[in-house]
Structure 1
Amino acid sequence: MTTSPFVILPTAADLIVLTRRANSACAEHRQVIRAKIVLAAAQGCTNAAIAAELDLHVDTVRKWRKRYARSGLAGLMDLPRSGRPPVFTPVQVAQVKALACTPPADSGLPLARWSVLELAVEAVSQGVTPSISPSTISRWLAKDAIKPWQHRSWIFPRDPDFATKAGVVLDLYDRRWQGVELGDDEYVISADEKSQLQALRRRHPGLPAGPGRTRRVEFEYRRGGTLAYFAAYDVHHAHVIGTIAPKTGIAPFADLVHQVMTTEPYASARRVFWVVDNGSSHNGERSIERMNQAWPTATLVHLPVHASWLNEVEIYFSILQRKAIATGDFADLDDLATRILAFQQRYNATASPFDWKYTRHDLNDYLARLRRHDNNPEELTTPQAA
């Protein structure tokens, strides 16, 4: 039996590492096998005996014995490999990604959006590459989080005073009015109405959640009519005052204002600022005049057109919708109204102000991005802090 010319004499430190590696249950299998080869060789076993014991080819044993004898533990690591040469060049990858970021209509295609299959076909059609699979394109796009098959709807600001009006509201959220900090006896109210709330009565009772089963809600329902919910949200104190009305309009909004302005601390406040959108219940200069005549300490502040996302009460409405109304089962309008007002009371008991972080700086960045896409950039001016 031939004796290997490579005598294995590991150091005490190497023995500790090799033994731990050989007995490990979580190390890579190849590293476990290499450690066992070296340990067996250190005990004087021949290559043939080690191969038979570990069910390996003798050439494998010879290789790792030789590698350890020459380089120690470092010799048991894999050598660097070049791997398979890339099929696509970086330029081709960039061209496909650029194509995914281009509307299909720019390529003369009757498509509203791309899919990876259509991108693969178009990349070949344009001569970017002779062939490519949709799965390859999917991997490339996933790397840069490019999803051309998705979209978000948005409304481009068309209010000529968008910047000025939005800046005023953001200042109020920051407790400033015309450059002066608000006092403790001044309040900011965000108000709006949630219209067309339906009292939906399910045709069959729902089933509660159980082990291995999600809650089930009957799809079909009977319509029990609609109502409107008017809410005034105190931005800095997280308190909601609301009223129920058969429908929206100037009168029910005036009722809400009356309820708030006759309730402390707003009744004795020096000033109460009302932030509202441009809905029919409180739009235009006439609404400002009505507010001033009825309540001299109240100031109506209008948001820009199509900027309800700047109205904090909308956040409360979304919470109400998710937690109290969605998937609900209501016997009638009175049942729905009772639920809404009960939720309002529950919310007021534990609520804290929203962590509003959208500031004038964010507004300026937003307007700067819009100017890059607008045909008339001079219409979007950046407001300066007062």
Structure 2
Amino acid sequence: MRAQVVLHAARGRSNARTARETGLHVDTVRRWRGRFAAQGMSGLAGRDRSGRPPSFSALQAAQLKALACQLPAETGVPLSRWSCPDLAREAVERGIAAVLSASTVRRWLKDDAIKPWQHCSWIFITDPGFRAGAARVLDLYAHTWQGEPLGHDEYVISADEKTSIQARCRCHPTLAPGQARAMRVNHTYGRGGAVAYLAAYDVHHAQVFGRTEPRTGIVPFMNLVTQVMSQEPYARAKRVFWIVDNGSSHRGKKAVDRLTAAYPNAVLVHTPVHASWLNQVEIYFSVVQRKVVSPNDFTDLAQVGDRLRVFEDRYNATAQPFQWKFTASELDDLPARLDRHTTDHRQESSAALAA
């Protein structure tokens, strides 16, 4: 910006016009124009500022960040993940700095959004038919089946079971939140049993059909299918595609034949093995977990079922289809990215062991 001020001045423009075109204050323009006139290029450099000089060098900060990007076990530290105090202590022991505080470590890591105390889980794709199976599911989400667009009388249902929703009756009443106070839930509870929640989610119309059962299994799942397929528009639909994972309630060709025998217009579509994240009903279950089940405070199983049914009505009244972003065009890139991740991790581990 200082150079721009000088260039504007060389073109004969006034301070006011330069300020407008650069977005600077006119006093700022006047100051840097005057310094350049008096001192030349050296006048555009910043002056020494008062205050204590930096206590740490950029190299020390980089070394600390490099340490934070290694697993503690790979460095011989008996920890599962780093915290800022642990990093500060390790940096001092390694001689990176004579003295280092956790707050300084936190500030350095914040510059590059490094958070070694967090972790997330992931899983390798092992199903040899992953691409073909995933493509079928993703095509259905995109209103396509076997290269042909779905008709107006064809529907896509995503179904699964959420197992073991417990009824935990707290020994003391839950306290509502207040000023500067979170909701308080007593830790001690009595067990009131558990129930399975089965749900079918219409992907393109954002409608949920659910039911509670004492346990999961073939019969409970077929009860859910009957609940959906016995009502319109699914009863007279040309085809209703049911996307399910490989759970024992609906696994394999027997499940396909069982569904087709009961409802000829139903088509069972399995997600690949260990890829239930492709099933959109899992997103709805995460909503249920956050908004209905947690924190768990129910007097009995009947209250669990009533709460879930009322929530379904509330959800269906305002729900919009999920904005699904993983498309079939990204399928080829996913295995390649996992392979690169595995290769890089192995190379880094080998280099660390060699060092």
TM-score bin, normalised by smaller chain: 0.7 to 0.9
Give the Cα–Cα distance (whole angstroms) in 1 for the partners of residues 293 and 258 of structure 2. Answer: 33
- Post-superposition Cα deviations, 1:118-160, rounded to whole Å, max 9, x if no partner, equal 4345445556x45351443332211001122221122222222
Give the Cα–Cα distance (whole angstroms) in 2 for the partners of residues 206 and 109 of structure 1. Answer: 42
Structure 2 match to 1:131: 98
Secondary structure, in 3 states, of the residue corresponding to 2:87?
A: helix
Amino acid paired to 1:307: A
Cα displacement (A) at 1:179: 1.8
Say which of 318, 326, 342 aligns to 2:286: 318
Say which of 136, 153, 176 aligns to 2:121: 153
> Alpha carbons of 1:275 and 1:331: their partners in 2 closer, same or farther (altered >3 Å)?
same
Secondary structure, in 3 states, of the residue corresponding to 2:137?
A: helix
Structure 1 match to 2:219: 251
Give the Cα–Cα distance (whole angstroms) in 2 for the partners of residues 295 and 232 of structure 1. Answer: 16
Secondary structure, in 3 states, of the residue corresponding to 2:277?
A: helix
Give the Cα–Cα distance (whole angstroms) in 1 for the partners of residues 113 and 167 of structure 2. Answer: 41
Structure 2 match to 1:336: 304
Q: TM-score, normalised by structure 2?
A: 0.76
Give the Cα–Cα distance (whole angstroms) in 2 for the partners of residues 158 and 286 of structure 1. Answer: 23
> Alpha carbons of 1:121 and 1:306: their partners in 2 closer, same or farther (altered >3 Å)?
same
Structure 2 match to 1:80: 46
Give the Cα–Cα distance (whole angstroms) in 2 for the partners of residues 212 and 139 of structure 1. Answer: 27
Amino acid paired to 2:151: G
Secondary structure, in 3 states, of the residue corresponding to 1:281?
A: helix
Structure 2 match to 1:234: 202
Amino acid paired to 1:131: A
Cα displacement (A) at 1:191: 0.1
Cα displacement (A) at 1:342: 1.8
Higher relative contact order (CA 8 A, sep 6+): 2
- Post-superposition Cα deviations, 1:259-304, rounded to whole Å, max 9, x if no partner, equal 2112111111111111111112112222122122222211111112
Structure 2 match to 1:59: none
Does 1:196 pair with 2:159?
A: no
Structure 2 match to 1:355: 323
Give the Cα–Cα distance (whole angstroms) in 2 for the partners of residues 188 and 253 of structure 1. Answer: 17
> Alpha carbons of 1:130 and 1:196: their partners in 2 closer, same or farther (altered >3 Å)?
closer
- Unpaired runs of at least 5, structure 1: 1-13, 15-30, 32-67, 376-386
Cα displacement (A) at 1:323: 2.3
> Alpha carbons of 1:184 and 1:105: their partners in 2 closer, same or farther (altered >3 Å)?
same
> Alpha carbons of 1:221 and 1:107: their partners in 2 closer, same or farther (altered >3 Å)?
closer
Structure with the greater alpha carbon radius of gyration: 1
- Post-superposition Cα deviations, 1:84-130, rounded to whole Å, max 9, x if no partner, equal 76555544433332222122233233332223344345445556x45
Give the Cα–Cα distance (whole angstroms) in 2 for the partners of residues 132 and 271 of structure 1. Answer: 69
Secondary structure, in 3 states, of the residue corresponding to 2:235?
A: coil
What is the RMSD of the two structures over their aligned residues, measured on CA atoms? Answer: 3.2
> Alpha carbons of 1:266 and 1:205: their partners in 2 closer, same or farther (altered >3 Å)?
same
Are the counterparts in 1 of residues 125 and 335 from structure 2 also a CA contact under 8 Å? Answer: no
Give the Cα–Cα distance (whole angstroms) in 2 for the partners of residues 338 and 125 of structure 1. Answer: 58
Deviates further, 351-360 or 90-99:
90-99
> Alpha carbons of 1:374 and 1:292: their partners in 2 closer, same or farther (altered >3 Å)?
farther
Deviates further, 79-88 or 94-103:
79-88
Deviates further, 83-92 or 264-273:
83-92
- Unpaired runs of at least 5, structure 2: 1-14, 16-26, 39-43, 344-355
Structure 2 match to 1:65: none
Give the Cα–Cα distance (whole angstroms) in 1 for the partners of residues 221 and 82 of structure 2. Answer: 46
Give the Cα–Cα distance (whole angstroms) in 2 for the partners of residues 211 and 96 of structure 1. Answer: 40
Amino acid paired to 1:317: F
- Post-superposition Cα deviations, 1:326-352, rounded to whole Å, max 9, x if no partner, equal 235433222221221121122222222
Q: Percent of aligned positions with the same letter in both sequences?
A: 56
Aligned residues: 309
Structure 2 match to 1:268: 236
Give the Cα–Cα distance (whole angstroms) in 1 for the partners of residues 213 and 46 of structure 2. Answer: 75
Give the Cα–Cα distance (whole angstroms) in 2 for the partners of residues 138 and 105 of structure 1. Answer: 21
> Alpha carbons of 1:109 and 1:202: their partners in 2 closer, same or farther (altered >3 Å)?
closer
Secondary structure, in 3 states, of the residue corresponding to 1:142?
A: helix
Amino acid paired to 1:81: R
Amino acid paired to 2:229: M
Secondary structure, in 3 states, of the residue corresponding to 2:134?
A: helix
Structure 1 match to 2:134: 166
Give the Cα–Cα distance (whole angstroms) in 2 for the partners of residues 114 and 333 of structure 1. Answer: 42
- Post-superposition Cα deviations, 1:223-248, rounded to whole Å, max 9, x if no partner, equal 11111111110000111112221100
Q: TM-score, normalised by structure 1?
A: 0.71
Give the Cα–Cα distance (whole angstroms) in 2 for the partners of residues 234 and 167 of structure 1. Answer: 19
